[in-house]
Amino acid sequence: MMRPITGYLSWRSPALLLAIVASSVAVAAVHDPAQEPAGQPAQSSVTTADPSGNPCDNMTAMAGMKMNVMGESMAAMANHMCITPMRPRQPNDEEKARAVIAEVRATIEKYRDYKKAIADGYVQGNPTVDQPQFHFTNDANAKLADTQFDPSRPTSLLYFQTPTQKFRIEGVMYTARPSATEDELNQRIPLSIARWHKHTNFCAAPENKVKEYFGKNPKFGMFGSIHTREACTAEGGKFMPVVFTWMIHVFPYEDDMKNVFSMNDDVPHFH
């Protein structure tokens, strides 16, 4: 099922998701921070607001902690990310967040066996691409998430590959429609506790340039140097101001709250 660009593009769109995942694997394989020139400025986000007018946090301010907060893969997407700014803590914010965490733990216990997830309508994204983290997505839950938040019905289940187990459950992904406001996201999971994010400024490569998703200096995709409509059009690409939805990952087996809502998908989130 493909949702229109005017709404959002399903992360199960094979061509697009393959490009994103494959480029992610490629960048992780070739990027070595130790090889960067001394004094090189951190990549900063060009997105200060998304197309719906939601403010996006300035990732330059996170430069000193991007790697441990976001992981190498997410940090490399700085020009293609909108991240919600943190709000001041309000009464009951932590209580609300912990209630969601408890619901996640209760919900995913039955899915330790990934075959039960499949039986309940979760479909593995890009099964032919080897990844450290796999998304199993439920389309019915994704559609529901456009309009309401039910913590017992996550859009995706997250499985991490270990040396002895290909699908080890570690958490969930919740989504909200791309036009959801900050206040709506805050009602779901408080923005004083966690950051929601959205993928932006995506330039899909034309067929004759797909190889430029890869390498040390990719031009297209989530890690590409192209992040404006003008540059994308000049290269013959298809520009998408927003791809996918608002999303947030929840890892309920972590002890520290900041790790429960971590944006670092490069490491496992279980003990």
SS3 content of the chain, % helix, strand, coil (to 5): 35, 15, 45
Question: Per residue in 176-211, pLDDT tens?
Answer: 998 899 999 999 999 999 999 988 888 999 999 988
Taking alpha carbons only, the member of 125, 106, 136, 96 closest to residue 21 is 125
Cα(78)–Cα(63) distance, integer angstroms: 10
Q: What is the band of 76 on the pLDDT scale with cuts at 50, 70, 90?
A: low
For tokens 């441990």, the residue is 68
Question: Apex CA 9: angle with CA 258 and CA 178, to 5°?
Answer: 50
CB-CB contact of 122 with 173 (8 Å)? no
Cα(268)–Cα(207) distance, integer angstroms: 34
| Dihedral sign from CA coordinates of 73, 76, 82, 88 | positive
Q: What is the band of 60 on the pLDDT scale with cuts at 50, 70, 90?
A: low
For tokens 């890869």, the residue is 214
pTM of this prediction? 0.78
* Higher pLDDT among residues 146 and 62, named by residue: 146
Q: Report residue 102 as tokens.
A: 């408890």
Cα(159)–Cα(34) distance, integer angstroms: 30
Q: Is the pLDDT of residue 32 over 50?
A: no
Q: Find how far residue 167's CA is from the centre of its chain.
A: 19
Q: Which neighbouring-strand residues pair with 204?
A: 238
Cα(244)–Cα(5) distance, integer angstroms: 9
| 247 burial level (CB within 10 Å; 0-12, 13-18, 19+) | middle
* Higher pLDDT among residues 11 and 208, named by residue: 208
